[in-house]
Structure 1
Amino acid sequence: MSLPRRVAAFALAAAIVLAAAWGAMALWFQLPGPGPVQVVVLAWCLLGVAGLAACIRRREGRWRWALPAFGFALVALLAWWSTLTPSHERDWADDVARLLESEVDGSRVTLRNVRNFDWRTPDDYTPRWETREYDLDQLVSADLVMSYWMGPAIAHTLVSFGFADGQRVVFSLEIRKERGESFSAIGGFFREFEQVLVAADENDIVRTRSNARGEDVYLYRLNLPPETLRALFVGYLDAAAALRREPAFYNTLVSNCTTIIFELARRITPAIPMDYRLLLSGYFARYAYELGALVPGYSYEELRQRGYINPRARALPADADSAEFSRAIRQGVPGADAAERAP
């Protein structure tokens, strides 16, 4: 066999393997199970193996049927995949049951469905949804919050905004779990979850991670001018409104809690470069540091060490209110005190 034909055969074989693997995962995460999905996935994999055999042993007549059969099945699978659409109408878990609503009147912002649950454990909580008002002229700070739940390379990324009157609100793009459903990073590639943009009190969305879930949580003060703070805040409101108008699938790779911050920041500063740390979100804070987006005058290692909130969060009594929690977790965090005194 000539070299070009060998390269073509290898490329075709690799394409079959990748298509078979993708199709198996798509079927696994989308079809009802366990029985039906196992049968269909097994049949799909066997067809993929037959197609691969036809590619490798193309001179043997008994395998010639397999390649066009796999191609036809792949086309049918892609056609079915294109029919999958996100929805707002499902039996949602309590913590993502409501969509954020916002109303902007000049500098006054009203947010409806701000989450302020009282979490005792991940499964034991008191639901509470609130309507809150904020004055954008009083917006003085933003903090990057990183919550590590699966090793050093993966973290959930949140942004907490602070106002001169002491109010705070945290925005977080999350999967919209159905009742009884749990997160799967792999499932996030295969349209298993919708997106939801949550606005929440720090005593809810941060404390549940540091205390109830036992994740490692770090807080960094962002170094942003007032006009950028305001644009970033309003960008979150626009993103929430867009999701409310039209549901969208969560995607572990390209549409997640970290990429939304990058997308909003790039609307403000288009020259911000792409970086691998948008995918390996656990390193996103260092990326922000290298861009000059964290408070200056400190090494990254010092910011990280002093931004670790868990000991302070866990030392608080269970009945500590939101203001106490917010003050406690910022003790010793570089830049926090200075920004809170801004007019």
Structure 2
Amino acid sequence: MSLRSIFSRLLSSRSRSRLIDSRDSESQKLESKISGNHTPESRQPKSTWRHRLTIFLIAVTLLLSAIWLLLAIWYQYGISSVLTWLATIAIASILAALLSTRYWDTVTKVLQNDSRSNKRLISKGTVTKVLIGIYSTVWLIGLGWFFSIEPKQDREWMAEVDQQVSYERDATNPDLVTLTNVRNFDWQTEANANEHWDTRTIDLSKLSGVDVTNSYWMGPLIAHTLVSFRFEDDRPLAFSFEIRKEDGESFSALAGFFRRYELSLIAAEERDIIYTRSNARGEQVYLFPISNLQQHEVRSLFESYLTAADDLNTKPAWYNTLVSNCTNIIFYMARIVSGDRLPWDYRIWVSGWLPNYLYDVGMLDAAPEKDNQPWSMNTWYERTHINPKAKGFDNQTNSQSSVSRDENSSEFSQQIRQDIPIPSLANSQASAEAKAKSTAQSSD
């Protein structure tokens, strides 16, 4: 073999090697582009903490909004409803698809390596935007549906909220107000009572004070709040904002966020509305007499209840566990009457701590027995606990009984106020505010 032929074969071999290497390099670059992997020189910088935080907040927002919408559908249609299940499957599918976009690069790589797939694949960003758009549309439609749900007056209500209080003023004396549908049931057990709705005339000029009653039924943080108005020569009258339950319906604090219950205003005798809590249900009930009020403030608060009755009779409203419940509605009305004397406070939304709030703002007399020995909040709770006082009270009246309902109501109201000092009304605004300020400082 000649030297020329040897060099010719050697050069030919090197050329083929270079060609193969070049082809391999081009193949690797193509794979790198398809799979999204880049060389170290072109590698993008790692995600910053701000980017991760943004992604986390978006994910939490999507999850919470989905839970809210599903709960709204659940409480409106029930968990066994076909609509509830279809909505759950649809929303869960959209969120699952959004989650899967995190692995979109892996999926596209597998599909691109499939020799049967010659079509250009959709990018990850496009898929994510489409899915978020679909979810946002679904959620906004659900939001519009939720706020279109209207409260009703004509449902099959439970007996204790079947009627709504209404009133008329005397044409010759506006102080005389005749209330219709004042509840005055004879409760035997939590679920059984003899129904009785009264008509009662009261004299607003005889208003002598206000008591706030807290009934604890779910731990120290949650309580139902009632307001009783005292009169100089008559028994008290209690008002209570409550959910208007349908037959067979029970209360759920969570359902109260989702337009599940209409709002009801009950005017009742204390032997009915307090007795059923302290005796029939076994809740722990406390009655606090409010100090440092003027007569016109008490009257204005009473008038606020009459206005609320008019509003609910004209147009029903929804109960809301957070913004329109039995406690903060009272605070809204009282603040209109008393203004800055009742500052905003987180305890307005934690109903069980309402008495502590009243104590701190000077609405509970620091030394009610005038012996210069201030009462602590513990003393107030001890003295105002009415369960021991109401225990054994005979709440039954009938046509054969020698005791009328009115007499029985007066006796119950007197009995639960034993050992509770009842404050008198303030003579002027200056004295009321000064006394409240002094009381608040004493409580501190």
TM-score band w.r.t. shorter chain: over 0.9
Aligned residue number for residue 33 of structure 2: none
Q: Determine which structure has greater relative contact order: mean sequence separation of CA pairs < 8 Å that are 6+ residues apart, divided by chain length.
A: 1
Residue 199 of structure 2: SS of its match in structure 1? strand
Match of 2:88 among 42, 48, 62: 42
Residues 72-111 of structure 1 mapped to structure 2, 5 A cutoff: 72-105=137-170, 106-111=174-179
The answer as to whether partners of 1:12 and 1:55 remain within 8 angstroms in 2 is no
The answer as to whether partners of 2:179 and 2:199 remain within 8 angstroms in 1 is yes
Question: Aligned equivalents of 1:171 and 1:197: distance in 2?
Answer: 7
The answer as to whether partners of 1:102 and 1:111 remain within 8 angstroms in 2 is yes
Cα 1:273/1:51, change in 2 over 3 Å: farther
Question: Aligned equivalents of 1:189 and 1:82: distance in 2?
Answer: 12
Question: Aligned equivalents of 2:100 and 2:83: distance in 1?
Answer: 26
In the alignment, structure 1 residue 292 sits paired with structure 2 residue 362: yes
The answer as to whether partners of 2:187 and 2:395 remain within 8 angstroms in 1 is no
What is the Cα deviation at residue 317 of structure 1?
2.8
How far does the alpha carbon of each residue in 1:58-84 deviate from its partner, in whole angstroms, 9 at most, with x for none? 766586353222222112211211220
What is the Cα deviation at residue 324 of structure 1?
1.3
Instruction: Output the amino acid matched with 1:8.
Output: T
In the alignment, structure 1 residue 311 sits paired with structure 2 residue 398: no
The answer as to whether partners of 2:223 and 2:352 remain within 8 angstroms in 1 is yes
Cα 1:120/1:16, change in 2 over 3 Å: same
Instruction: Output the amino acid matched with 1:283.
Output: W
Question: Aligned equivalents of 1:52 and 1:270: distance in 2?
Answer: 50
What is the Cα deviation at residue 239 of structure 1?
1.1
In the alignment, structure 1 residue 193 sits paired with structure 2 residue 239: no
* Identical amino acids, percent of aligned pairs: 40
Higher Cα radius of gyration? 2
The answer as to whether partners of 2:190 and 2:281 remain within 8 angstroms in 1 is yes
RMSD: 2.1
Question: Aligned equivalents of 1:24 and 1:172: distance in 2?
Answer: 31
Cα 1:57/1:146, change in 2 over 3 Å: farther
What is the Cα deviation at residue 301 of structure 1?
1.4
In the alignment, structure 1 residue 281 sits paired with structure 2 residue 351: yes
How far does the alpha carbon of each residue in 1:126-160 deviate from its partner, in whole angstroms, 9 at most, with x for none? 11111100001111121110000000000000001
Of the structure 1 ranges 93-102 and 41-50, higher mean CA displacement relative to structure 2 is found in 41-50
Question: Aligned equivalents of 2:156 and 2:178: distance in 1?
Answer: 27
Cα 1:9/1:141, change in 2 over 3 Å: same
Task: Provide TM-score, normalisation by structure 2.
Answer: 0.72
Match of 2:251 among 149, 167, 183: 183
Cα 1:307/1:222, change in 2 over 3 Å: same
Question: Aligned equivalents of 1:245 and 1:325: distance in 2?
Answer: 34
Aligned residue number for residue 186 of structure 2: 118
Cα 1:96/1:55, change in 2 over 3 Å: farther
Aligned residue number for residue 69 of structure 1: 134
Question: Aligned equivalents of 1:322 and 1:295: distance in 2?
Answer: 27
Aligned residue number for residue 40 of structure 2: none
Aligned residue number for residue 208 of structure 1: 276
Aligned residue number for residue 53 of structure 1: 99
How far does the alpha carbon of each residue in 1:91-144 deviate from its partner, in whole angstroms, 9 at most, with x for none? 111111111102234211111111001111121111111110000111112111
The answer as to whether partners of 2:242 and 2:325 remain within 8 angstroms in 1 is yes
Instruction: Output the amino acid matched with 2:323.
Output: V
What is the Cα deviation at residue 10 of structure 1?
2.0
What is the Cα deviation at residue 11 of structure 1?
2.1
Aligned residue number for residue 255 of structure 1: 324
Question: Aligned equivalents of 1:55 and 1:229: distance in 2?
Answer: 62
Which is strand-richer, 1 or 2? 1
Which is helix-richer, 1 or 2? 2
The answer as to whether partners of 1:47 and 1:66 remain within 8 angstroms in 2 is no
Residues 109-188 of structure 1 mapped to structure 2, 5 A cutoff: 109-188=177-256
The answer as to whether partners of 1:24 and 1:44 remain within 8 angstroms in 2 is no
Question: Aligned equivalents of 2:144 and 2:330: distance in 1?
Answer: 33
Instruction: Output the amino acid matched with 2:248.
Output: G
What is the Cα deviation at residue 48 of structure 1?
5.4
Question: Aligned equivalents of 2:82 and 2:317: distance in 1?
Answer: 27
Aligned positions, number: 339
Question: Aligned equivalents of 2:83 and 2:362: distance in 1?
Answer: 49
Structure 1 unaligned spans of 5+: none
Cα 1:19/1:81, change in 2 over 3 Å: same
Cα 1:6/1:204, change in 2 over 3 Å: same
Question: Aligned equivalents of 1:55 and 1:128: distance in 2?
Answer: 64
Question: Aligned equivalents of 2:104 and 2:355: distance in 1?
Answer: 52
Instruction: Output the amino acid matched with 2:194.
Output: T
